[in-house]
């Protein structure tokens, strides 16, 4: 009884609210009923049905043209598949070992030229490119560069009708839209397009060229969130104008990292491509030393054997000096610690190579700052071509 006594007033209140609502619902139902009766009259319902039928069957055409589609249409035919054929272990028969992508960047005389990645063509006994229409054409490998992961192919120009327009990667801005074009899973997905933005500029990625666990090079790359998978390697990264601003090269393959792809800036690639086209290799300067990073030397060794002051904790330790090399003629010796070349701080072998390869030419002079027996010295050397 207590339950009903405590809630009796509430029940009366609820009843007062429910009754008007119930009456309103009844009135509404009556109105709907009247409407249905009206619609059931001759010619009324049939007219309404005819109107609905016409609306649902009307053909609608949408013509859409966007900056992205225009950019893709401009560049897509210049992006090709690259097939790498190698011999099987127990047979001399050639079979396709891997595939990637490439970009037709030039036509001259009777030939056309294609940029791709070094790792796409590595170990090939035969190479072919696949045009967008599916036609395959044999190509000649002119040269490769493992440091920049670039290669140049030459093909019969009579069958090439589209050449990519090269842009300027130096003018890219963070957040700028870009599109990757390539063959992410081989010929079956040729000409695939993924859209993203420029996520980072001048990102530095360590590269182990010879697989010895030591970084040989630090590549400056464009970071993008446009999906780039292995088969995209060698394909184009284009801007909204349809110009090639990068050659797609690699992707971080860690499960916990997604949406991070890398592309070689076209402004950095062009000088390398020109050398590969003309000489079959890149003419790079060298100084003639073998060295290792000071970071690999213990603090005790740095102070006792190298006699370095406490302020010097970054540099490279010379291990050997090649006879007759620029370093030898400049007076450098084993156990010298190089800290600068010109005004550029040097902390690793990769730093040294990056500076020489990207900022110096064969025949130029370079100032080397180094420490010997705890004392700071300077010397000048003339760079030679690396053989």
Burial string for 205-216 (b: 16+ CB within 10 Å, else e) reads eebeeeeeeebb
Q: Which of 98, 130, 233, 293 is catalytic?
A: 233
387 is catalytic: no
Residue whose entry in the numeric block shows the structure tokens 């030419």: 361
Q: Which of 119, 199, 263, 291 is catalytic?
A: 119
Per-residue tokens: 62: 């949408």
298 is catalytic: no
Q: Which of 145, 149, 275, 351 is catalytic?
A: 149
51 is catalytic: no
Contact partners, residue 185, CB within 8 Å, separation at least 6: 229, 231
Instruction: List residues with catalytic annotation.
Output: 119, 149, 233
């Amino acid at each position: 009884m207590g339950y009903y006594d405590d809630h009796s007033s509430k029940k009366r209140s609820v009843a007062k609210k429910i009754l008007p609502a119930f009456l309103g619902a009844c009135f509404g139902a009556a109105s709907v009923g009247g409407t249905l009766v009206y619609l059931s009259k001759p010619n009324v319902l049939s007219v309404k049905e005819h109107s609905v039928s016409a609306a649902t069957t009307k053909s609608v055409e949408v013509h859409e043209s966007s900056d992205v589609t225009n950019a893709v249409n401009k560049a897509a035919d210049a992006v090709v598949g690259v097939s790498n054929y190698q011999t099987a272990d127990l047979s001399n028969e050639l079979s396709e070992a891997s595939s990637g992508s490439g970009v037709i960047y030039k036509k001259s005389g009777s030939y056309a030229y294609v940029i791709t990645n070094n790792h796409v063509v590595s170990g090939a006994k035969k190479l072919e490119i696949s045009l967008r229409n599916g036609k395959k054409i044999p190509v000649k490998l002119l040269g490769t560069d493992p440091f920049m992961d670039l290669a140049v192919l030459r093909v019969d120009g009579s069958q090439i009708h589209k050449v990519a327009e090269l842009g300027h990667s130096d003018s890219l801005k963070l957040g700028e839209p870009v599109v990757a074009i390539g063959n992410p899973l081989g010929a079956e997905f040729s000409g695939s397009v993924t859209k993203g933005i420029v996520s980072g500029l001048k990102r530095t990625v360590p590269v182990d060229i010879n697989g010895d666990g030591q970084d040989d090079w630090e590549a400056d790359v464009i970071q993008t969130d446009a999906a780039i998978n292995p088969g995209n390697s060698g394909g184009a990264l284009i801007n909204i104008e349809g110009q090639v601003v990068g050659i797609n090269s690699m992707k971080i393959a860690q499960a916990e990292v997604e949406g991070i792809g890398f592309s070689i800036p076209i402004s950095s690639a062009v000088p390398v491509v020109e050398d590969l086209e003309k000489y079959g290799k890149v003419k790079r300067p060298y100084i003639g030393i073998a060295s290792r990073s000071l970071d690999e030397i213990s603090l005790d060794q740095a102070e006792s054997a190298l006699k370095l002051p406490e302020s010097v904790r970054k540099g490279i330790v010379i291990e050997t000096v090649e006879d007759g090399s620029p370093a030898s003629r400049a007076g450098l010796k084993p156990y010298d610690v190089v800290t600068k070349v010109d005004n550029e701080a040097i902390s690793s072998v990769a730093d040294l190579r990056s500076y020489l390869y990207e900022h110096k030419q064969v025949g130029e002079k370079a100032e080397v700052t180094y420490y010997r027996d705890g004392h700071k010295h300077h010397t000048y050397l003339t760079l030679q071509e690396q053989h």
